[in-house]
Amino acid sequence: MKNRNFKLSAILFMAILLTGLTGFSEGVQAQNPKPVTIESSRDFDGTVDAIKKAVSNGDMMVLSELNQGQILSMTGLQLNAHSFFIGNPTVGKKAFSSDPSAGLVIPVRVNVYEKNGQTFVTYFKPSDLFSAYKSQQVKKIGKKMDGVLKMMMQKISK
Amino acid sequence: MRHEKIKLVLVLITLLLAGISPNLYPIAQAGIAKLSFLAVSFLIPSVALILLLIFITRALKYTSLSKQILVGLIAGLLATVGLEVIREIGFRSGAMPGDMPKLLGVLLLDRFAHGPNFWSNVSGWAYHFWNGAAFGIIFSLVFAHAQRWVAVVYGIIIGIVFMIGPATTTLGIGVFGLEFKDGYQFLTTVTLAHIVFGIVLGWSFDKLSKHESYPNILRRLKNAMTVSKRNEPLN
């Protein structure tokens, strides 16, 4: 009798565990995206300016910026690094209407940094990140953003 | 004779106002409100009211009280110079995780994402020095006429409270900064800086007082109560 109770408890426990694991991953699936890195033909400041212009030319907006280098100067670390958050209201409205949890990947983040005197631009391919969503609309936006970022990078790459 | 009571009330208001500034940064770091909002809503009004109180006490001919507040304020500013010397050396030698006045500045002007600039640095330094001045005013009104070592203990207590609060833990270095580097650098720098703060505070308060005996809060309380008893009807 005791043994039977134990078996029942174990089965119940496994069932709860599996339900929890699958339940939490309902909308988003695990991915392993790799960053795209491009060497810029300009210096750091020139690249930052070029990205702003390219974003505008791509019918997108810089929604927010993080001057990582300047922020980290408060810790005594000296480096050039800048993050952009890129998107536009139309893309945002479509994505969020389709899946309100899209804020995890929207706006798209683009990072500029300097290493050994060279400036690099790096980002995760939006389609890779957005493919984690079940929504076809979100996936479609991801592919569109791929094109926008590719066009931008062509303007600043070597 | 009711002057003693008025003076006591003015002292209590000044203490209340002086206590606002040092609490704002921990409150902001605790996630209760943004420092930029707290600065506009509480810091600037408290600074303005303290300065106004200095003029009011002077206008009421409470010259001694007016001087007492002013001496505390200046002693606090001088003590912050001492603290800053140690803090800056500590920061430049890597014993501090960040440049505190610069951090205060970006939070005050709500420009963390852009990092510090000239005006945020000015704001941050001004806020840090005003905190020192506020602690000076509190010391002057509460511990006036105390031995100099009391100022050192006072400084150490300020340092300890700083190190156990959200102002330190939100920097990601744990209570007392024990998770930063080998665990002793932050603790040593902050403690040393606040010991220097206390030494300079006690010394400058003494020098600026020019041997004038300012009453502390307890004596003011006794004076006010004695006056009350004397004025009570006999029946």
d(CA B70, CA B198): 17
pLDDT band for A13, please (50, 70, 90 cuts). low
Give the percent of chain A with pLDDT over 70. 80
Q: Which ipTM was obtained for this model?
A: 0.82
Share of chain B above pLDDT 70, in %: 96
Closest Cα in chain B, distance from residue A77 (Å): 10
Contact B189, B86 (CB under 8 A): yes
Bridge partners of A81? Answer: A113
Supply the pLDDT for residue B213: 87
Q: What is the pLDDT of residue A7?
A: 64
**Mean pLDDT within B33-59:** 97
Which residues are within 8 A (CB) of B163 and not within 5 positions of it... i.e. 6 or more apart?
B175, B176, B177, B186, B187, B190
pLDDT of A114 reads 97
* pLDDT score, position B100: 96
Residue A31 — very low, low, confident or very high, per pLDDT cuts 50/70/90?
low
State the Rg of chain B over Cα. 19
AA identity, residue A124? F
Average pLDDT over residues B144-170: 94
Percent of chain B with pLDDT over 90: 90
**Mean pLDDT of all residues in A71-90:** 95
pLDDT at B117 over 90: yes
Most A CBs within 10 Å, among B100, B110, B114, B128, to test the A interface = B114
| Contact yes or no for A64 and B113 at CB 8 A | yes
pLDDT at residue A69, rounded to an integer: 97
CA-nearest residue to A84 within chain B is B113
> A62 to chain B, minimum CA–CA distance in Å?
13
The kind and range of the H/E element at A119 are strand A118-124
Helices (H) and strands (E) in chain B, counts: 11, 0
pLDDT for residue A33: 85
Q: Residue A145: what residue type?
A: M
Q: Is A83 in the B-facing interface, judged by CB distances under 8 Å?
A: no
Mean pLDDT of A14-31: 50
What per-residue confidence (pLDDT) applies to B225?
87
Query: A85 touching B, CB under 8 A?
Result: no
Nearest beta carbon to residue B115 from set A64, A73, A76: A73
Is the pLDDT score of B48 beyond 80?
Answer: yes
- Distance set, CA A110 to CA A82, A100, B130, B167 (Å): 8, 22, 40, 31
In this structure, are strands A35-39 and A118-124 parallel, antiparallel, or unpaired?
antiparallel
Query: What is the per-residue DSSP string for B3-31?
Result: HHHHHHHHHHHHHHHHTHHHHHHHHHHTT
pLDDT at A157: 83
Evaluate if residue B129 carries a pLDDT over 60: yes
**Residue contact B92–A76, C-beta within 8 A:** yes
Question: Residues of A with CB below 8 A from B115's CB?
Answer: 67, 69-74
Q: Calculate how close chain B gets to A79, using CA atoms only, in Å.
A: 13
Q: B1 to each of A114, B5, B225, how far by Cα in Å?
A: 72, 8, 11
Count of helix runs (H) and strand runs (E) in chain A: 6, 5
Label the pairing between strands A61-66 and A81-87.
antiparallel
pLDDT-based confidence at A158, cuts 50/70/90? low
| Residue of B88, B109, B112 for testing the chain A interface, max A β-carbons within 10 Å | B112
- Which residues of A are less than 8 Å from B186 in CB distance? none
